[in-house]
Structure 1
Amino acid sequence: MANVQSLDPSASPLDYYGWELRRLREAQGLRQGQLGEIVFCTGSLIGQIETTKKVPTREFSERVDAALGTDGVFSRLIGLVLRSQLPSWFQPYAEMEAKAAYISTYQAQLVYGLLQTEAYARAVLATGEPDGLDGLVAARMERQRILEREQPPLALVVLDEAVLHRPIGGRAVMRAQLERLLELGGHRWMQIQVLPNKVGEHPGLAGAFNMLRFDAHPDVFYTEDMMSGHMTADPQVFREASLHYARMQALALSARDSKALIERVMEERYGDQDDPGEHTLA
């Protein structure tokens, strides 16, 4: 008899997901390989998800719901599972971000997480050499679902020009990322401005920060360092941050000029020209 790994469904959302998947699969009289054939994956992957060795995706969850007739059980669970993959110190912010009606962000080093492509996010997250990179990437992509709502949050984004020039993931990844910024900037609920290098000193020199506004919750100010995040609903802090942000918006290029700069950097820096680093000398 095969050795079946026991699971504690109360240990974590991922354990509960795996436990439920095994329970409902067996209730249908399906082996792992049989379910895999139905949802277009291997039986091995089914086993890895059931034993929490792999983190499921939203697409997988939707297919399993259809295959097992589970009325959206796994599609509802997957959001909780993916959120649990975020660092524990970041989870409170992610929960507040998902409820925000207005998001204002200044980013000095990187594209804001909600605006990142999957390839860009993977390159960023890989720098920490995490064990569960796939889960972290999936969790970051899951956060972006708030932008797909019928009424997404209004988003104001100020990016330091350095963000456009830092070649995260290489030329192809950066080109796709800048194309994504141009796409998002075309939505009426999002405004993207670039703070040009020529500005010099400005109120954001201390680093990136986010401000969240809500319809029925105190406003929140958030920043983070290398190891943790810091969130506060102190009204005085929020007022001061709002003043700094307004000054930075005034110093930044207009949305139209920012779009032109992003397009120029995309073509000049990440175009199709040969990369000298890809050639060797004889």
Structure 2
Amino acid sequence: MKITGLSPFVFACMILGFVFLYAPIVMLIIYSFNASRLVTVWAGFSTHWYGELLHDQQILTAAFLSFRIAFMNGVLSVIIGTMAAFALVRFGRFWGRSVMIQSISSRLVLPDVILGLSILLLFVSSRSLIGWPDQRGVLTILISHVTFSSAYVAIVVQSRLAGLDRTFEEAAFDLGAPPFAVFRTITLPLIAPSLVAGFLLAFILSFDDLVIASFASGPSATTLPMVIFSKVRLGISPEINALATIIVVVVALGVAFAGNMLQRQNAQR
């Protein structure tokens, strides 16, 4: 017996996998519309907590700060990660290439606690030696996020560059096009999906980070995950469910946009 082209066992495993992955998110979204202050007791449908969320100045300020840091982190990580990917793919073997590969790979497996502690010690040592930074804040959080996000972007862009057909670039060079024009009109559009994917990945990693931001931040900068963590320690509030639902919707729209862009480019190719 076949179900949608799959055996019953494979179909059942697929359903269980989707339930395991998305049932907690679905329950969170449902309880964000709960009228009761107790998140585990359903008291009817209500959008009251979304209105309360819009009046919570602490959460709104932290959300705006996290969004601003995540956006800047995404842009800088794409620039640095793309440069690193081009160096690894297009420049062949050069002195320090193995060290560069190992340093990029180590960022992917290094625990956040170790990375956050090392960044904190770097900032403390830098302040004692050259007097910078005066205090930890937005800039130090941004620097710490770029240090690990750019590694993820480099891996994504590198995989795209490694499988890229270079005949279009070579044809443009044969026709007399300068290198920058070839990069702008041919290479950049071909790797655009990987750049978008890298940007979204860096954005989410920064927006979601708690451990590293806790080490790199100061009293003047409190990100959204830090605010949520401090609130959850005192008990889960329905406002947190509403905030999480909004974040899930925004992330889903971003992923859908990136997937649609990749699909359209594949159709054009």
For normalisation by structure 1, the TM-score amounts to 0.19
Higher share in strand: 1
For normalisation by structure 2, the TM-score amounts to 0.20
Higher share in helix: 2
